[in-house]
Amino acid sequence: MNLELKIVQNASAPLRVEIFENLKKGKDSMDIISAKELGFEGKGIFFLQAKKLLLVGIDELNADSIREAGANITRYAKNLPFKSLSIKAPADNELAYALLLGIASGAYESAIYKSEQKKSALRLVEIIGDNKELPKLCKKAQILTQSLNIARDLINTMPQVATPKYIANICEEKAQELDITCKILGHKELEKERMGAYLAVNRASVHKPYLVHLRYKSKNARAKVVLVGKGLTYDSGGLSLKPADYMVTMKADKSGACAVLGIMNAIANLKLDIEVHGILGLAENMIGGDAYKPDDVLFSREGKSIEVRNTDAEGRLVLCDCLSYAQDLKPDVLVDFATLTGACVVGLGEYTSGIMGYNEELKAHFETSALKSGELMARLPFNRHLKKLIESKIADVCNVGSSRYGGAISAGMFLGEFIREEYKQKWLHIDIAGPAFVEREWDINPYGASGAGVRACVEFLESLESRQILGDSKNCAPKNKQDSKNSQNKNSKKNKA
């Protein structure tokens, strides 16, 4: 459902909406008194039918609460017979944007395969306010909503349709629409690139793998950022076959790649002064006579050999070759997004992504951007003892740890083995396994795909564009090995303190 946001000074919509903070604060209006007499306890949404008024109670007046309230308003109102509603925008820009994003994104539904689709009359939301920033905030909210929905739609598309080729074609069409460049590498090109780990994962699938390379660059680009997304269009676990219950929702194993496409859509429409490359590693992990096996040794694009002990630890094998390709682009910042480990979900829960890397300052800034955007993220520390778990007796590195504990971190450290020394301080790994696909409605997210990573990364890229991150410097990391060592020494001293 497409929902138009229109800024007005005088509302004409038949349905009015009012948001208020905790009933215990301040004096009740006559409308609230009327609602309380009918049983309203001050939280959630109450519909005063006679006045065509929706009352929305929130505990605290902050961005998180008002964004979620905005989504719930749309979800409630689209079941009513009104074509439009009106609501007053908060004077504060942060709160206003949160409300707009919530209202716009709350319209999404994932029931694309139901034979009978629910039709909603709601098409327009009138935003009352005279804040000069409202048009800009409204535009950003609509762009972010569109970008989230691009990712959500692709993730929710069933695996028999959303093959690597299908997503590559979608990327090509979107690139033409956005006027950005798109390069697609097929099986032969991946062989020429010596992506042995990537190709092994896809070997048993009837669908060929594709690597998509998108590029956006403004005339006054202040930094070059490369984003890499894990795009397993389906993951059966390979010969280390998943239990049946764990295979359900594995269409969401392409969430990292879909997030990258959503991010590219957002920055191209926002016209940020930055250069961004999006790398989507699209593959399918299946079983068959040609499947790669536990005990195999694979040879990566970086030249490192990998002992395979579990074919269900496949995403890191695709990513290590994609990250190798990405480093050839000489980025100022390199970020990958992946539904990489169940261990991250165990550690942080379903709603929070894990941030990993070697540069503590860069991790902290990404976390700040994520939280500002409304996405929950937390930093996970690399640990030299956990690194020992991925050592191999027969190859340079093993694709799984020798212990069940610390799996999210050891997976991140596996990827770190393929990051060159000059990029270690510029790289971030974001494990979105928890929030990428949740089978219940939460916050502004519907059942199913959330588009995890899109909002956080766009906020992060905006901070790069305005040079608010890591000082006023194009290079967002130490320039040489000595600077890198100094940075690590400082972090070490802080930890000891």
Question: What positions carry a catalytic annotation?
Answer: 242, 316
Distance of CA 118 to the CA centre of its chain: 28
- Decide: 377 and 344 in contact? Cβ < 8 Å: no
String of DSSP letters for 78-119: TTSS-SEEEEEPPSSHHHHHHHHHHHHHTT----TT-SS---
Collapsing DSSP to helix, strand or coil, 168 comes out as helix
CA dihedral 189→213→317→436, nearest 10 degrees, is -150
| Residues 195, 286: Cα–Cα separation, whole Å | 18
Please calculate the CA angle 354-355-359 and round it to the nearest 5 degrees: 160
String of DSSP letters for 230-299: EEEEEE--TTSPPPHHHHTTGGGGGHHHHHHHHHHHHHHHHT-SSEEEEEEEEEEE--STT---TT-EEE
| Residues 40, 37: Cα–Cα separation, whole Å | 7
Strands 275-285 and 224-235: parallel
> What token pair was written down for 314?
């496949």
> What token pair was written down for 57?
């109670």
Helix axes 164-178, 255-270, angle to 10 degrees: 10
> What token pair was written down for 282?
């699209």
Please state the φ and ψ torsions of residue 20, each to the nearest 5 degrees: -140, 155
HSE of 489, CA atoms in CB hemisphere, 13 A: 7
Please state the φ and ψ torsions of residue 229, each to the nearest 5 degrees: -125, 130
- Decide: 154 and 233 in contact? Cβ < 8 Å: no
HSE of 455, CA atoms in CB hemisphere, 13 A: 29
Collapsing DSSP to helix, strand or coil, 248 comes out as coil
Distance of CA 3 to the CA centre of its chain: 22
Partners of residue 448 on adjacent β-strands:
438
Collapsing DSSP to helix, strand or coil, 314 comes out as coil
